[in-house]
Amino acid sequence: MFKKTALVAGIGLALSVTAQADYRWELGGDYTMSETEAEVTTNQGSRISDDLDADVGRLFGTWYMETVDTSKGPLSEAAFLDHASDITIEASDGEVDLSSVDDRLSDEDGQRYSISGRYVAEGPGWKLSGWLVDLGYERAEPGEAEINQYNLGIGNYITPNTTLVLNYVKTEPDNSAAEDADSYSLDLEHMWLMSSGGFKARASYGVTTITDVDDVDSYRVGGTWYFTNNIGIGADYLNTGTDGYEVQGWQVSSEWFFTESFAMNLAYSQLDPDDIDFTRGNVNGKVELETDAITLGAKLRF
């Protein structure tokens, strides 16, 4: 009888471990379709409108330095809740359709490559336990341009489910006519856990400085509600402004883990810049812009 009980308990334990689907790797990708609507209105009453389409595909892979425990809450937040350290490599390729603007123009391609990582100091006896460092490098090649970007972040798990990170980003265009940019931001994230699911809140404030240009202020607030540990729906609002000119945007997103190892996500976003006034000769007018984007993606863990 004892042997049978031990055998049943052992099988149950093995099944429960398998069901948790802890992972060490995450591979995925997404595809984004966006459309920018532009409308020019002059003081003479004429109106011209046009659309600019863009398509971007992205692939990524993440390796975690230790196995990520998925039993602490929503599957989307497993790495955050487990204080995981990781290295991520990304690559994307896109195309902008310029033929709608001018039939004489050809489409423009653009690529982006990046490597980034987060290291979290953990373990008994660590004096710096809970402190984290983010490092990243990105190379963007939109059209004929080349842009290098370097990122450094230092932060802390101020509670087991809360991070506060100070970030610095250096942007260097490979073009003598363009100025370098220095960006600073403070990012806060907190996860409220429930019996099944929870709520993840996030907020960020940043400043970008460019030589001979007014500083650019930006902030973002948002959150994701997890109905269960497998399904989450999020919403974000962002605002960027300088010298009275603003760009506002919002996004709604969702992610669904069909199994504990495979998920799909869907997002819709919109950017609404302020109208741009212009003068050309004796003609005055304004330009109205609006960008809509849809992203569909998937990822696999193992």
Domains of the chain, earliest start first: 22-301 (2.40.160.60)
Minimum mean pLDDT range among 52-66, 97-111, 224-238: 97-111
Model confidence at 245: pLDDT above 80: yes
Which residues, listed in sequence order, are joined to residue 195 by a DSSP beta bridge? none
Least confident range from 68-77, 138-147, 250-259: namely 138-147
Say if residue 120's pLDDT is above 50: yes
DSSP H or E stretch at residue 12: helix 2-20
Positive/negative CA dihedral, 19, 196, 229, 192:
negative
Side chain identity, residue 216: V
Distance, in Å, from the CA atom of 243 to the CA atom of 254, rounded to the nearest integer, reads 35
Among candidate residues 252, 260, 264, the one with its CA nearest the CA of residue 293: 252
Confidence tier at 145 by pLDDT (50, 70, 90): confident
Under the banding of pLDDT at 50, 70 and 90, the label for residue 98 is low
User: Which candidate, 295, 287, 242, places its Cα nearest to that of 266?
Assistant: 295
Environment class of residue 126 by beta-carbon count within 10 Å: exposed (0-12), middle (13-18) or buried (19+)?
exposed
**What does the pLDDT read at residue 281?**
62
Residue 213 has pLDDT above 60, yes or no: yes
Q: pLDDT band at residue 6, thresholds of 50, 70 and 90?
A: very low
Task: Please say if the pLDDT value at position 47 is more than 90.
Answer: no
248 and 268 Cβ atoms separated by less than 8 Å: no
Amino acid at site 293: A
- What would the mean pLDDT of 68-74 be, rounded to a whole number? 96
- Extended beta strands in 101-244, E state: 108-120, 131-142, 147-159, 162-173, 181-193, 198-210, 213-226, 231-242
* Mean pLDDT for the stretch of residues 185-210: 96
Q: What is the mean pLDDT of residues 95-111?
A: 67
Contacts of 216 (CB under 8 A, 6+ apart): 207, 208, 209, 210, 240, 241, 242
Q: Find the range with the poorest average confidence among 4-13, 18-27, 170-179.
A: 4-13
Contact 208, 216 (CB under 8 A): yes
What pLDDT was estimated at residue 295? Answer: 98
CB atoms within 10 A of CB 282: 7
Identify whether the C-beta of residue 182 lies closer than 8 Å to the C-beta of residue 207.
Answer: no
> What number is the average pLDDT over the span 109-123?
92
Q: Which two tokens stand for residue 60?
A: 């990524």
The pTM for the full model equals: 0.85
Under 8 Å between Cβ of 54 and 96 = yes
Rounded mean pLDDT of 153-176?
93
- Residue 5 confidence (pLDDT) above 50: no
Of 16-20, 202-206, 213-217, 281-285, the range with the lowest mean pLDDT is 16-20
Residue 237 or residue 45, greater confidence? 237
Mean pLDDT of all residues belonging to the chain: 87
Between 97 and 168, the more confident residue is 168
